[in-house]
Chains A and B, each alone.
Chain A
Amino acid sequence: MKLLITNGHLIDPAEGQNSGKHLLIENGRVAAWLGANDELPTDIETFDATGLIVAPGFIDLHVHLREPGQEHKETIATGAAAAVVGGWTSICCMPNTKPINDNAAITRFIIEQSNRAGLANVFPIGAITKGSDGSELAEMGEMKTAGIVAVSDDGRPVPNAGMMRRALEYAKDFDLTVVDHCEDKSLSHGGVMHEGKMSLLLGLKGMPALAEDIDAMRDVLLSEATGAKVHIAHISTKGAVEAVRWAKSKGLRVTSEVAPHHFALTDEAVEGYDTSTKMAPPLRSREHVEAVLEAIKDGTIDAIATDHAPHHADEKNLEYDRAPFGITGLETAIGLAFEKLVHPGIIDLVRLVEMFSTNPAKIFGLEERGTLKVGSIADVTIINPDLEWTYDVNQTKSKSKNSPFHNQTFRGCAVATIVGGKIVYQR
């Protein structure tokens, strides 16, 4: 099986590549980069990428697929289908399914289901503690053997610094990155949006930035003490950004990701009480969004990850303070990155590819991905940076529609998604 992608502009930050190349794929792997003077093979499937960017496949470090247990919100198959529409060739799914992915049997189930679904690669993330309840370590070694790529207790972060220290020490034995959703629940308890002027104006209970700052500070100190790899999930506050910046200046093994809604929206979007503006961490105030943009620009933030969190409309259409946290994001991430980061000149296309592919692959140690080096797995995202499109949530491939970006128009999107050398999505 061969595929030739012709006339594209090939960006591969891992290889320092940023110019026109034809890309030849054979048997699911990158076979060759061909220049203008090279003879092109004929009689094979060809994709004309004239005017388009050819990039290593996007890797989303943070999605919720709801299977097993809550298949009415999303299944692995529907999540993977939404992923490839958004240009993602790989998605890493959080363990907060029902039951929680805290043992190898669940990990194997998720991997089997994703093999059945085809489309995007699905890499499970295991729980840090059994049942994600923060009291006993989960069997990280066995889960790693079964296929997990990282560990996290995501929405139920380990509250106890002593337990987190043990988790980091143990995860290090298996070279697993520990992903932390930074939220000290003793500070954020009962809150439903960012604490500040807007929460007071709307009469909603606030979650202070402090709740994220304190956990992020704790985590970078624990990384320093243990030497373990810590990845700060969906960073959203000035304080957490400063914690990561400090860690990087000390050369610690600390990385971070940002979710598109945290650089695209502020807490002013909560006006009107639309529950598709409710997520954790919450939409922050302008001051925090600006700190996040600065951190995207200076490299403090390594990756863009969606925190795709599907919820059924019946569960989401409730009183604001009763609705569950989370919004979908797989299909809108690239549009938001273009609108809020690339077009305003905050980052260039090379950095965009770094944040969507190169860095995520490194953070979770996904070998032979995040690059199009000859011999690597042929996961490719083809981008049209100028195509205008409007997001219609009613056309989503996800099972859920809880997006605040319905009817928004974007310039720039993925026009083809190639997984293992096979075109799985084409716009």
Chain B
Amino acid sequence: MDKNFQRKDLLGIRNLSADEIKTLLQTADTFRDVSRREVKKVPALRGKTVINLFFENSTRTRTSFELAAKRLSADAVNISVSTSSVAKGETILDTAMNLDAMAPHIIIVRHGSAGVPHQLAKVSRASIVNAGDGSNEHPTQALLDAMTIKEHKGEILGLNVAILGDILHSRVARSNVHLLTKLGATVRVAGPNPLVPNDFCGLVNNGLTICPTIEDALENADVVMVLRIQKERMNDAFFPTMREYSIYYGLTKDRLKLAKSDAIVLHPGPMNRGIEIASDVADGSSSLILNQVEYGLAVRMAVLYLLSGGNENKEQ
């Protein structure tokens, strides 16, 4: 077991130390090669069982976790529950305890309600990995974003990172703010005022600023993260129309010029092209959106590996 990472669960970035984050990132680095080999498999988790329990739709995260488990030689089971626990007539705790009774080593949970992984972690023997809980956290996304940034910028310490869009509802923004400020970056957030509450500043003690405009946040940025606008939230009238959003808040080529010339652009996906991000930016030379997906696999292998206690067989 790695002495720098001894947790039962990975519930969020917020409660991790900078050292724990670094250990996760270093471990992820060592797993990158595995996916580039002809035989993309190591026996590190042989004999272990990993359950993917997804209560929300997901393509990339679920696939990424599944492949991560399989490339570590774990037995992986996928459960997609599109309906809520209430509609099913079984509570979420019952579902989790039934799965726990089958003695898996790790349960990966995605749920639309904040705190579900935390609630499950209290009752399950298996390690719980948060794969996104409501508007709370998405720790593996922040880790893969960090890995992407490190790969292209060397260090996270001292970087200016702009996070743009629906800050209020974004679990990606929360996990990233925690991770980036813990590792010494300066984070600036901006978006339509109803989606960027003032109290958001209180999320961390320092290193986080709310900017009045997208342009202010972009000024001199090393890294630009664009968040997905969720069409399903349009009913709540946070802004008038998608069209107007794209005009005033979308990341266009012109706006990107405000950032440093070597700035990189990230998006957690799935993208709304032409709304929060223009296609020529998404497909442009600054964009690392597909690299993020590749690093995601390595990060998830590292998470599963460290939570299962590590294993000497890793490099075989």
Contacts and interface: CB of A to CB of B under 8 A. Distances in A.
Interface of A: 195-197, 200-205, 272-273, 314, 317-322
B114 A204 contact: yes
Interface of B: 14, 84-86, 91-93, 111, 113-116, 118-119, 133-137, 168, 171, 174, 197, 199-200, 202-203
Given A201-B14, A204-B135, A320-B113, A273 B203 contact: no
Contacts of A197: 199, 202-203
A319 B202 contact: no
Contacts of A202: 114-115, 136
Nearest to B204: A201
Contacts of A321: 113-114, 134
A203 B203 contact: no
Nearest to A285: B199
B91 A314 contact: yes
B116 A319 contact: yes
A319 B133 CA distance: 11
A323 to B, nearest CB: 10
A203 B118 contact: no
A204 B115 CA distance: 9
B199 A200 contact: yes
Contact of A200 (B111, B113, B134, B197): B197
21 contacts: A196-B202, A197-B202, A197-B203, A200-B168, A200-B200, A201-B14, A201-B174, A201-B202, A202-B115, A203-B115, A204-B134, A204-B136, A273-B114, A273-B115, A273-B116, A318-B92, A319-B85, A319-B113, A319-B115, A319-B119, A322-B86
A415 to B, nearest CB: 35
Given A272-B118, A273-B119, A322-B113, A203 B199 contact: no
Contacts of A201: 14, 174, 202-203
* Closest CB pairs A-B (n = 9): A203-B136, A273-B115, A319-B113, A197-B202, A203-B135, A203-B114, A320-B115, A197-B199, A321-B113
Contacts of A273: 114-116, 118-119
A203 B134 CA distance: 7
Contacts of B91: 314, 317-318
B23 to A, nearest CB: 24
B182 to A, nearest CB: 15
Contacts of A317: 91, 93
Contacts of B86: 318, 322
B93 A203 contact: no
A64 to B, nearest CB: 22
Given A200-B197, A202-B114, A203-B133, A319 B92 contact: yes
Nearest to A201: B203
B118 A200 contact: no
Nearest to A203: B136
Nearest to B167: A200
A314 B202 CA distance: 35
Contacts of B118: 272-273
Nearest to A323: B113
A203 B137 contact: yes
A192 B30 CA distance: 42
B203 to A, nearest CB: 6
Contacts of A314: 91
Contacts of B93: 317
